Amino acid sequence: QVQLVESGGGLVQPGGSLRLSCAASGFTLDDYAIGWFRQAPGKEREGVSCISSSDAYTYYADSVKGRFTISRDNAKNTVYLQMNGLKPEDTAVYYCVADLASRPDLWIVAGITPGGYWGHGTQVTVSS
C-alpha cells in the first residue's frame, strides 16, 4: 500500500525549531521529487519547499528561505523539513507530497499543485 505519513508537528514558541518527517511506504522516495506544502486556516495551500528526485536542487518559498531546510534520507525512505526561527505565521497543517515532476520548483514559483502521493498532514502551531 502506497502511503506517506508526516510526523514531528506540535506546539512551539516563536523562535523555536521543529523537524518534520515524511516517511514513505509502498514505494521508493528517491525516485520522486518531494514537496512540503502548508495550509493555514482560511488560506489556500501553499508550497513551502521542494527537493528534486536527483537531489540536484532544493527550492524554498521566500517566506521560509534561510529558516527551513529540506533533506532526504534514502536509506530510511524519509524526507525531512527542518524548521528554525519559527514565527506565528508559520502556523499551519504541513503536508508532504511525492511526485514524478521534473520541475518541482514550479510548485512554489507558479503555484502548481502536484497530483502525486499526499500525506494527511501534521499540525504546526507557533505561539507563546
DSSP state of 114: P
Q: In the structure grid, which three cell numbers stand for residue 49, read together?
A: 519547499
- Within 10 angstroms of residue 54's Cβ, the number of other Cβ atoms is 10
> How far, CA to CA in Å, does 56 sit from each of 34, 59, 94?
12, 10, 23
Confidence of residue 63 (pLDDT cuts 50, 70, 90): very high
Gap between the Cα atoms of 114 and 14, Å rounded: 30
* Span 15-34, average pLDDT: 95
Name the one residue in this structure whose C-alpha cell is 521566500: 62
Average pLDDT, rounded, for the chain: 95
Gap between the Cα atoms of 88 and 98, Å rounded: 27
Confidence of residue 56 (pLDDT cuts 50, 70, 90): confident
Residue range 71-98, pLDDT digits in tens:
999 999 999 999 999 999 999 999 999 9
Give the phi and the psi of residue 116 in degrees, each rounded to 5.
-80, -145
Residue range 31-47, pLDDT digits in tens:
899 999 999 999 999 99
